Amino acid sequence: MAPSVIPTTVNPDIQKERNAASFSSDEFAAWWSGGEEKLKFNRDVREYLQKDMDVEEVRQIHNKSHEEIYELSSKSAIAAARKLQRLQKERNPGGNDYWPALYDNQVMWGLVPGGNPFGVMYVMLVKALQAQCTPEQYEEFGKRIENFEVCGTYAQTELGHGTYLRGLETRADFDPKTDEFVLNTPKISSYKWWPGGLGHSSNHCMVMAQLYVDNKPKGPHMFYVQVRDEETHEPLPGIHIGDIGKKMGFIGVNNGFLGLKNVRIPRTRMLMRHAQVNADGSYVSSPSNVLTYFAMVRTRCVIAWNNAVMLAIAATIATRYSAVRRQSPINPKEPEPQIMDHVTQQMKLFPEIATSVAYRLASAHLWNLYDITLGDISNGRYERLPELHSLSCALKVNCSSDSTIGVERLRLACGGHGYLSSSNMGNVYVNATAACTYEGENTVLLLQIGRFLMKSWRAALSGAPLAPTVRYLAEVQKKPEFGSWTGTWDNMVQAMQFAAAKKTALAFKSLSSRLSRGETEETAANHTGIELTQAAELHGRAFVFSSFTDEVTGPNARTRSAALNQVLENLLELYLVKESLNHMANLLRFINLTDTDLTRLQDRLETVLTKLRPDAVAIVDGFDFSDVQLNSTLGSFDGNAYERIFDAAMKNPMNQKSVPKSFHEHLKPFMKSNI
């Protein structure tokens, strides 16, 4: 290959940006990471994991075949696991703070760029087993998964059914004569389809199937099933298993299919912490149906967090590139400026930076609620589950859709070079947009949130207490007029809550009207679906407004420097103003804003872009991504974008020989035949 043309120095334009920043990127990074100790820990582990890594092989991933990508992903994932195990033995023998705790952590990002074939095992399967197994079951087979003695995945989605779990077709019939369950996928649409790692990276899996006792349905339940021999890895009798083929993204995750034909498992392989089938065939139902799906609730928390990070990655790449790219003089007689000096470019970049921060903070609030709810469940209390389910759906939906749109906007902000595979923008985009459909298709989840809002509105009308995140509904019922628009941050939070409440009221009115005309509950909900989804989206946005404002203006501000607080205030200002403008149709419908109010919002938008301009590079530096994690020719820390683009092209396998084989085999003979 050609020698590298990448300088060892930092691009002066990007260094100038760092020198001019008004605050410390390291302080931002410590805040972003959860404290200085956490930042130091993350950097230390990341450096250890990335040491001795074949970066060049990773960068050639898009030039590999589907099978080669899987083999590289599997090799890289196992190499990372070995390193984490070594770290655990070296630094805290007998603990689990490195291994396996960090295997699904952000420090792993970039090590397996095609996606970790064993990621679902730790993101979902281990957590599901911990939540759904009895202690005896977890000791028997759950620990083996946690210790990576065997490999597995969480098999729920089918070819014919995804989000609608009650429609799953995989059956588990109890046979009292043998004290076993008999599992079947009766037709093609019943095949498990999509689970990460199922194709060739699992010899066990947790199968979600419809339980039948005496041929009577008991609903979806979880079953632990061995699918491959632990020594040979060959599929077991009755198992039809493989890879579903190439996808837009997550190209190394080995998503698979699974067919089952009269596969027998012991009765004790049904996960029985909450629901049980006894040897005599008697059935004990779960105290809460949502407990069956609790692993999905946790995964939606993960998605909201991860998609916020994906947006931050794209924002880092585009912002750094915009600092070193010079184009189109603003004044004809002056030199070409950094494209970040164009206000229209700032409008592409800075709102996405603010949005990534907003969703990261909202996700932190969501995780806090998750931890509290998990503690309640262990004590037999389930009243928080509906709120957690609704909020996890809301953040999963809004963050996945906003990050997908945002990543694409940032790719376009990089011009033509953003279209290069080496920019990594395409990979970030396809990973972000996947979250719009996995773990619950977004529209279906919005409808579930809508139902929660209808129940909450009805409860508020009766004077019943509401969950904390929907108490604003009762406040709007008591005070149906908004009052004055002042444009303060608190006023803007209240305005978004007011719009969400009014949209909820309209949906409730439409639903009630349809019910009064004789429509069934289900039909009326279907006909009110558009209004329900609109109310649900605004409910989620109101939560993000509130959580962002609380973090920036609340007591945590006292722990930060004045300089960092000013930057966070600017980001909050930008987020609230741009989102209010984006949803102005809803605000104007319910709140009296004047033309002067709208003009002031536009002025505030342009003013805060100007304030953020000197700090933009320092902010994305504060996201603290390594070059390995970014994996981008455009977004490296040194800012040498052109040289890295050129270097990547020179290392393209097609350029390793001057004449392609097709010239002699096809092109030359064809041209000669035309003489």
Residues 112 and 190 in one domain: no
How many residues make up the chain in this entry?
Answer: 675
Q: What is the pLDDT of residues 489-521, one digit of tens each?
A: 999 999 999 999 999 999 999 999 999 999 999
Percent of the chain surpassing pLDDT 90: 93
Phi, psi of 263 (to 5 degrees): -85, 120
Whether residue 36 lies inside any domain: the answer is: no
Q: What is the arithmetic mean of pLDDT over 529-538?
A: 98
Count of C-beta atoms within a 10 Å radius of residue 303: 26
Q: Which of 623, 604, 627, 53 is nearest to 312 (CA)?
A: 623
277 membership: H or E segment, kind and range: strand 276-277
Whether residue 196 is annotated as binding a ligand: the answer is: yes
SS3 at position 376: helix
Q: What is the arithmetic mean of pLDDT over 154-160?
A: 96
Q: Residue 78: is its pLDDT beyond 90?
A: yes
Q: Which residues contact 496 (CB under 8 A, 6 or more apart)?
A: 538, 541, 542, 545, 579, 580, 583, 587
Q: Which residue carries 């397996």 as its tokens?
A: 112
225 membership: H or E segment, kind and range: strand 216-226
Residues 166 and 206 in one domain: yes
Whether residue 253 lies inside any domain: the answer is: yes
**Catalytic positions, written as ranges:** 439
CATH of the domain at 212: 2.40.110.10
Q: Residue 1: is its pLDDT beyond 70?
A: no
Whether residue 596 lies inside any domain: the answer is: yes
Residues 66 and 170 in one domain: no
Whether residue 346 lies inside any domain: the answer is: no
Sign of CA dihedral 624, 629, 630, 632: positive
CATH of the domain at 522: 1.20.140.10
Asked whether the beta carbons of 651 and 56 are under 8 A apart, the reply is yes
Q: What is the arithmetic mean of pLDDT over 348-367?
A: 98
Q: Residue 287: is its pLDDT beyond 90?
A: no
Confidence grade of residue 58 (pLDDT, cut at 50, 70, 90) = confident
Spatial separation of the C-alpha atoms in residues 173 and 133, rounded to whole Å:
20
Residues 449 and 586 in one domain: yes
Confidence grade of residue 291 (pLDDT, cut at 50, 70, 90) = confident
- pTM (two decimals): 0.96
Q: What is the arithmetic mean of pLDDT over 385-397?
A: 96
Of 248, 271, 286, at which residue does a domain stop?
Answer: 286
Model pLDDT, residue 269 = 97
Helices within 385-528 (DSSP H only)? 385-413, 425-434, 442-461, 471-478, 489-516, 521-527
Model pLDDT, residue 662 = 96
Confidence grade of residue 141 (pLDDT, cut at 50, 70, 90) = very high
Confidence grade of residue 162 (pLDDT, cut at 50, 70, 90) = confident
Q: What is the pLDDT of residues 644-655, one digit of tens each?
A: 999 999 999 999
Q: Any idea what the Cα angle at residue 366 is, between residues 40 and 627, rounded to 5°? A: 35
Per DSSP, 142 falls in state: I
What value does the CA radius of gyration of the chain take, rounded to a whole number of Å? 27
The answer for 100, left when phi > 0, alpha when psi is -120 to 50, beta otherwise, is alpha
Model pLDDT, residue 50 = 96
Q: What share of the chain is helix, strand, coil (3-state, %, to 5)?
A: 60, 10, 30
Q: What is the arithmetic mean of pLDDT over 386-395?
A: 96
Q: Which residue carries 């004290």 as its tokens?
A: 179
Q: What is the arithmetic mean of pLDDT over 411-415?
A: 98
Q: Residue 296: is its pLDDT beyond 90?
A: no
Residues 107 and 196 in one domain: no
Residues 104 and 152 in one domain: no
Q: What is the arithmetic mean of pLDDT over 269-294?
A: 90
Q: What is the pLDDT of residues 549-571, one digit of tens each?
A: 999 999 999 999 999 999 999 99
Residues 166 and 99 in one domain: no
Q: Which residues contact 365 (CB under 8 A, 6 or more apart)?
A: 543, 547
Model pLDDT, residue 152 = 98
Whether residue 259 lies inside any domain: the answer is: yes
Q: What is the pLDDT of residues 236-263, one digit of tens each?
A: 999 999 999 999 999 999 999 999 999 9
Asked whether the beta carbons of 496 and 542 are under 8 A apart, the reply is yes
Q: Residue 293: is its pLDDT beyond 80?
A: no
Sign of CA dihedral 215, 221, 227, 231: negative
| Enclosing domain of residue 551 | 442-465+486-622
Residues 566 and 516 in one domain: yes
Whether residue 350 lies inside any domain: the answer is: no
Whether residue 157 is annotated as binding a ligand: the answer is: yes
665 membership: H or E segment, kind and range: none
Residues 249 and 189 in one domain: yes
Q: What is the number of structural domains in the chain?
A: 3
257 membership: H or E segment, kind and range: strand 256-260
Q: What is the pLDDT of residues 316-331, one digit of tens each?
A: 999 999 999 999 999 9
Q: Which of 290, 410, 434 is nearest to 350 (CA)?
A: 410
Spatial separation of the C-alpha atoms in residues 353 and 320, rounded to whole Å:
12
Bridge partners, residue 171, by sequence:
184, 210
Whether residue 245 lies inside any domain: the answer is: yes
Bridge partners, residue 284, by sequence:
276
Q: Residue 183: is its pLDDT beyond 90?
A: yes
Residues 172 and 99 in one domain: no
Q: Where are any strands of DSSP class E within 110-267?
A: 152-155, 171-175, 180-184, 192-193, 204-213, 216-226, 239-243, 256-260, 263-266
Q: Which of 186, 256, 268, 189 is nearest to 227 (CA)?
A: 256
Q: What is the pLDDT of residues 11-37, one digit of tens each?
A: 999 999 999 999 999 999 999 999 999
Residues 86 and 204 in one domain: no
Q: Residue 127: is its pLDDT beyond 70?
A: yes
Q: Residue 600: is its pLDDT beyond 80?
A: yes
Spatial separation of the C-alpha atoms in residues 200 and 241, rounded to whole Å:
8
Residues 584 and 523 in one domain: yes
Spatial separation of the C-alpha atoms in residues 381 and 24, rounded to whole Å:
44
Whether residue 240 lies inside any domain: the answer is: yes
Buried b / exposed e over 393-426, threshold 16 CB at 10 Å, is: bbbbbbbbbbbbbbbbbbbebbeebbebebbbbb
Asked whether the beta carbons of 267 and 174 are under 8 A apart, the reply is yes
